[in-house]
A and B are shown apart, each in its own frame.
Chain A
Amino acid sequence: MSLSVLLAIAAASLAICAASYYYSRIKLFSFTLILFYASSVYLDSFLFAHCPSIVFIAMVTLFVAAPFACLLIFALDTHFALFCSDTSFALVIIWLLAPVFLVINSISYLVKMLHG
């Protein structure tokens, strides 16, 4: 699969994910969120193939593992009322980081295209 197709899938899935979140379509939201992260991580593995592996690990930790951890905390709190603090901040983190992740990947893709 070409990099441009992967980037297009990531961008489209994020847009659908945002719309399904806004209109509370939970199944579609979950599916497109997973699709966004899967395609973005796969794209990253090519875009950052020539960089030290720490760059790829840092990207995945910050932009994938952290939001998923937050989402897990939120889901557990919603179902089992585990925490005294309000965990809806998890959604703020996801919606702050996901577009940044896409922008970084888009810039990296353009740089890769321009410099061969």
Chain B
Amino acid sequence: MAETNKKIFISAGESSGDIHGANLMHCLLERDPGVTFYGLGKEKMRQAGLHSLHDMSKKSLMWLHALTEISTFWKIKKECVSFFRRERPGVVILIDYCGFNFHLARAAKKLGIPVVYYVCPQIWAHGPWRAKKMKKLVDKVIVIYPFEKAFYDKAGVPTFYAGHPLFDEISKIGVNEDMVSRLMKPEAGCIISFLPGSRKQEIVRLLPMFLRSALLIKQAIPSVRFIISCNDAHHLDLITALAKDVGVPYQIVVGNAHEIIKASDLCMASAGTVTLQIAYFRKPMIIAYKISLFGCFVVKPFLTTPYIGLVNRLAGKMIVPERLMYRDNAGWLSRQAIQLTSDERKRSDCVRELSAIMEQIAKPGASARAAEEIATLLRHYYHDDK
């Protein structure tokens, strides 16, 4: 990279973006140890060397909560824009979090700083018109799913498909086999795990329904055991309170999502990246997503894909049961779970389909490919200008 481009601005708001941002930073540093990173991120990005302009640890852009923090976000944006003016970073890299990052993209664009969007918001699923904004605000989009490339290509946005950085993370962390054995124990009976998501709102909506379905499953399969995944230790009290007096034995495990998935015979999960993790371990799953009746009504006309689960979207067909719900449907969940645990043919079909998808996309090296693409963009951007 040219001397003027050594400062890189990078912004991620969510925890998953923080992990992907940190991996990307490591890869960029491997390419050029002289680069320095400034911007917005959380713990992992700070550990990777980010000079944080603002602590994003407790920031959320979920729904109405964002409204309560408008003035804070306004201040953060002003800080970032004055950094752009003062330091003129070589590139602005934005990771997901489009509610805020689009504002930074516009500011950077106005100042003639190249903008790269990495891990795009899922606008292909709900709100494809936003691709026009991407085209206006961003110089390059680095996507993580193969079908996203076709979507952005059609919209005329320069796009590069790098693959999903989740697989870098899985191959880096690996799986603790001792932990898997401990979770499985030498007991008879299958294990069903509940992975209700990483956000408080998702947990509150989904976990009670999962647990109600657990009661029905236990009646049909008495030997079944249940594990509740607590992705974030901050949510342990909430999960414990929601699972109290449920009437079936269960075990709550904090973190160790990969081990929980590997130890399970079936997973019940919220729609999101966790479904790819489950698919990686070739485990049958049921995907549920619950929103309010009003929310369901408002978003329905904008849903452009018939699938809420990424694995079904990637397959282009329903390979695992999924349902978008606005009311409790524990009966449906339990019926699907009983079928998937007891019908061997259905299980093997599901596993075969998941394997086919994973063979296509579960390739590590996404962060390195994204870093390479960013370096190429900068070479063209600055050298072509000269």
Taking Cβ atoms with an 8 Å cutoff, the residues of A that contact B are 18, 21-24, 77-81, 84-86, 88, 91-92, 95
Contacts and interface: CB of A to CB of B under 8 A. Distances in A.
14 contacts: A18-B297, A21-B301, A22-B301, A23-B301, A24-B301, A77-B129, A78-B129, A79-B129, A81-B133, A81-B136, A84-B137, A85-B99, A95-B294, A95-B298
B96 to A, nearest CB: 14
B297 A95 contact: yes
A102 to B, nearest CB: 16
B133 A84 contact: yes
Interface residues of B, number: 20
B326 interface: no
Contacts of A77: 129
A84 B106 contact: yes
B102 A84 contact: yes
B108 to A, nearest CB: 12
Contacts of B133: 81, 84
A81 B136 CA distance: 8
A26 B22 CA distance: 44
Contact of B297 (A22, A84, A88): A22
Contacts of B137: 84
A114 to B, nearest CB: 31
B382 interface: no
Interface in B101-142: 102-103, 105-106, 127, 129-130, 132-133, 135-137
A2 B98 CA distance: 50
A26 to B, nearest CB: 9
A20 B301 CA distance: 10
Given A22-B297, A88-B127, A95-B294, A81 B302 contact: no
Nearest to B300: A22
B99 A92 contact: no
Nearest to A23: B301
Nearest to B297: A22
Kindly list the 7 A-B residue pairs having the minimum CB-CB distance in the complex, ordered from nearest.
A81-B132, A84-B102, A81-B133, A24-B301, A78-B129, A84-B103, A84-B106
B105 A84 contact: yes
B133 to A, nearest CB: 4
Interface string B58-102: 000000000000000000000000000000000000000011001
A21 B298 CA distance: 9
Contacts of A18: 297
Nearest to A88: B127
B62 to A, nearest CB: 13
Contacts of A95: 294, 297-298
Nearest to B301: A24
Given A22-B301, A88-B302, A95-B297, 16 more contacts: A18-B297, A22-B297, A77-B129, A79-B129, A81-B135, A84-B102, A84-B103, A84-B137, A85-B99, A85-B102, A85-B103, A86-B98, A86-B99, A86-B127, A86-B130, A88-B298
A77 B136 CA distance: 12
A24 B127 CA distance: 13
Contacts of B300: 22
Given A81-B132, A81-B133, A81-B135, A92 B298 contact: yes
Contacts of A22: 297, 300-301
A47 B60 CA distance: 45
Nearest to B107: A84
A86 B123 CA distance: 11
Contacts of B302: 88
A111 to B, nearest CB: 28
A40 B30 CA distance: 65
Contacts of B106: 84
Interface string B39-55: 00000000000000000
B298 A91 contact: yes
B305 to A, nearest CB: 14
Interface in B124-182: 127, 129-130, 132-133, 135-137
Contacts of A21: 297, 301
A24 B105 CA distance: 32
B201 to A, nearest CB: 16
A14 to B, nearest CB: 13
Contacts of B301: 21-24
A86 B122 CA distance: 13
B130 to A, nearest CB: 8
B192 to A, nearest CB: 34
Contacts of B297: 18, 21-22, 95
Nearest to B129: A78
